Amino acid sequence: MKRIALALLSTLALATVAHAAEYNQVQADKSRIAFSYQQMGVSMDGSFKNFSSQLRFDPAAPEAAAAAIEVELASIDTGSDEGDEEAAAKTWFNTKDFPQARFESTAVKALGGNRYEVAGKLTIKGTTRDVVVPATFAQQGDAGVFDGSLTIKRGDFSVGEGAWKAFDIVANDVEIKFHITATAR
Amino acid sequence: MSAQYTATAKALHWGIAVLIFGMLGLGFYMTGLSLSPTKLQLYSWHKWAGVTLFLLVVLRLAWRFAHRPPALPRHMAPIERFAAHAGHHLLYVLMFAIPLTGWLMSSAKGFQTVWFGVVPIPDLLDKDKALGDLLQTVHLSLNFALIAVLLGHVGAALKHHFIDKDDVLTRMLPHRLH
């Protein structure tokens, strides 16, 4: 009887701990989505000011984790006004018809240590592709911080059409970097 | 014969002259374009040529310090001598300052200069939009000043050749042309 009670208690305690450690409240002001690419051999940086994300992640049960991120493409900051306008135009993101880019996880795999692999579907400009995103997790105070990057080919999503289609000026590879901070409820 | 410039001084003078006229034309043309791959390419070329021009000017200044140029003709009045020296000093200052402001403007606007797409030139300034816009104005204003001084420079050379009929223009010409 005593044994069973103990077992029950410890299960309950574990469940409480596990629950307490589920990070699911994204702190928008401490999160960032940026990108970089090469333009005639010059490394260029930019970011997206507005995006929303939902995630739940419990370090004790990473396989049950899930994430969804929606980026407002018109909030792009390329570093210049004419760059921002061009990026919103039909040849690039065509934000009028496709205002958001979306990532939705399908599976999370723990690679050991603080490293994880998040498989999911990335949708940009009406094209959806399977991607695998390497990510790390770190606990900082009562918050969980997720960092990672993914290199995509802009040509796969028809980002940069017409005169921009060639990759000699603006490279095909675009690295997307994210830094997401979430607290447990 | 001693009144001639050295072959190196002549090569630097004419090489830089061709580059400056090309850069003025390119600069005014490219800034008027709407964003396109061509525009980005022209901007890169402009920046590569700017770095090249700056290095040539440094070389030229070093050569100038080591080699005294031929003296001004004796017929020139003191005010003309003053104008000639002032004009040449201004040209050197502008040839030095214009590429520098171009490079600083690029840094402030967040576009690093990578010479011929291979040699990265460090960014002295951090990205700062307001500072970038200010430096753009400075770069443009200095170029207007350069155009004014160049008009004086070319005008003076032609005056020396056709009115004073001295050797001020011909002593800078390539050897076989005079």
Pairing of strands A32-39, A42-48: antiparallel
Q: Is the pLDDT of residue A16 over 60?
A: no
Nearest CB to A41 within list B110, B114, B127: B114
What's the CA gap between A58 and A18, in Å, rounded?
7
DSSP category for residue A22: -
How far the first Cα of chain B sits from its last, in Å, is 12
Non-local (6+) Cβ contacts of A178 within 8 A are A31, A32, A33, A34, A69, A146, A147, A148, A149
Mutate which: A169, A170, A172, vs B, most B CBs within 10 A: A169
Nearest CB to A42 within list B34, B37, B111: B111
Return the HEC string of A161-185. Answer: CHHHCCCCCEEEEEEEEEEEEEEEC
Please name every residue paired with A173 in a beta bridge, in sequence order, or none if there are none.
A153
Q: For domain A22-184, give the CATH number.
A: 2.40.128.110
Predicted pLDDT at A121: 98
pLDDT digits (tens, 9 = 90+) for B35-74: 999 999 999 999 999 999 999 999 999 999 999 999 999 9
Predicted pLDDT at B175: 76
Go through chain B and tell me how many residues it has. Answer: 178
Domain ranges of chain A: 22-184
Per-residue pLDDT band at A18 (split at 50, 70, 90)? very low
Q: Does residue B121 form part of some domain?
A: yes
Q: Are the Cβ atoms of A40 and B44 closer than 8 angstroms?
A: yes
Query: Which CATH number do you get for residue B36?
Result: 1.20.950
Neighbours of B146 (CB within 10 A): 21
pLDDT above 90 as % of chain A: 83
Closest residue in chain B to residue A41, using alpha carbons only: B117
Per-residue pLDDT band at A5 (split at 50, 70, 90)? low
Non-local (6+) Cβ contacts of B138 within 8 A are B101, B105
Task: State whether the Cα torsion A142-A139-A102-A161 is positive or negative.
Answer: positive
DSSP category for residue A117: E
- Interface ipTM: 0.76
Q: Does residue B141 form part of some domain?
A: yes
Residue A17 is inside which H or E element, if any?
helix A2-20
* Full domain range(s) for residue B91: 7-177
Residue A134 at interface with chain B, using a CB cutoff of 8 Å: no
CA distance B11 to chain A (A): 31
Q: Are the Cβ atoms of A43 and B112 closer than 8 angstroms?
A: yes
pTM of the full predicted structure? Answer: 0.83
Q: Does residue B2 form part of some domain?
A: no
pLDDT digits (tens, 9 = 90+) for B105-154: 999 998 999 999 899 999 999 989 899 999 999 999 999 999 999 999 99
pLDDT digits (tens, 9 = 90+) for A86-123: 999 999 999 999 999 999 999 999 999 999 999 999 99
Q: Does residue B13 form part of some domain?
A: yes
Domain count, chain B: 1
A window 56-95, beta carbon within 8 A of B: 79-80, 82-83, 85-86
Per-residue pLDDT band at B1 (split at 50, 70, 90)? very low
B98-128: string of b/e by CB count within 10 Å (b at 16+)? Answer: bbbbbbbbbbbbbbbbbbeeeeebebebeee
DSSP category for residue A156: G
